[in-house]
Amino acid sequence: MKKAAIELSVEFIVTFILAVVIFSLSIYFAVTFFGGAEEIRLSIDAETESSIHDLFAQSGTLVAFPLNKKEVYLNDQVIFGVGVLNLIKDLPGQDPTGYYLRVRPHRYIDERGVEPGIDLSTPNYLPSMQDWIRYSNNTNIIDYNEYITTPILVEAKSVMGKQGTDDIATKRGTYVFNICIFRGDPGPSGLVCDKNILGHSQLYSNQVYKLYVTVF
């Protein structure tokens, strides 16, 4: 009887320790993730929020992207901000419709004319180029006639693709990314942000926006 009680006590202690460790790790990763997202948001507020506000106030545009071209050195980062204004009223009695953003690598351009252009959406490049991008792909509810600003971080990493098991080194030049704003339910896999999406019922403002990062 005593032996069984001791075994139960040991099992309880081990289970308790594991639970504490898992809980602690969960808190650590949550703080790291959300803290990083807040740092991105804070860094774009001072630079772009006033420009986005002015665009919405003066032009009546649905999507404000005032600074879509930036330069960066290899292994450095740049941050963009995109504003989305909701001018569609939800029907009474229905749940509000959310907005979500998608960024997709599109093309490499060597403006010097030395290197040929590269389609970054192909299998050799897409996975590596997606690692350059960090942004929130969550669905956001925006009140009518209000807007939100979403930060997009692009890091010019040293690898732009893979050829078999070999890395393709990042080239100097301009990297173009597509940006789409969707309104509705993203579904299990979401929608692909490329020229084929034009005319889709969920594509807000029916436009694919471009983001340009020139790497030195």
Chain centre to alpha carbon of residue 34: 14
pLDDT at 14: 56
Beta bridge mates, 71: 214
Q: Which residues contact 178 (CB under 8 A, 6 or more apart)?
A: 103, 104, 105, 106, 193, 194, 208, 209, 210, 211
Render each residue's pLDDT in the chain as its tens digit; 216 residues: 545 445 546 565 656 566 655 655 554 444 444 344 444 554 665 667 889 999 999 988 999 998 899 999 999 999 999 999 999 999 888 899 999 999 999 999 997 877 889 999 999 999 999 999 999 989 999 999 999 999 999 999 999 999 999 999 999 999 999 999 999 988 776 789 999 999 999 999 999 999 999 999
pLDDT at 33: 41
pLDDT tens digits, one per residue of 121-153: 999 999 999 999 999 989 999 999 999 999 999
Q: Is the Cα torsion angle 186, 188, 191, 192 positive or negative in sign?
A: positive
> How many Å apart are CA 100 and CA 154, to the nearest integer?
18
Which CATH code for domain 34-215?
2.60.40.10
pLDDT at 116: 85
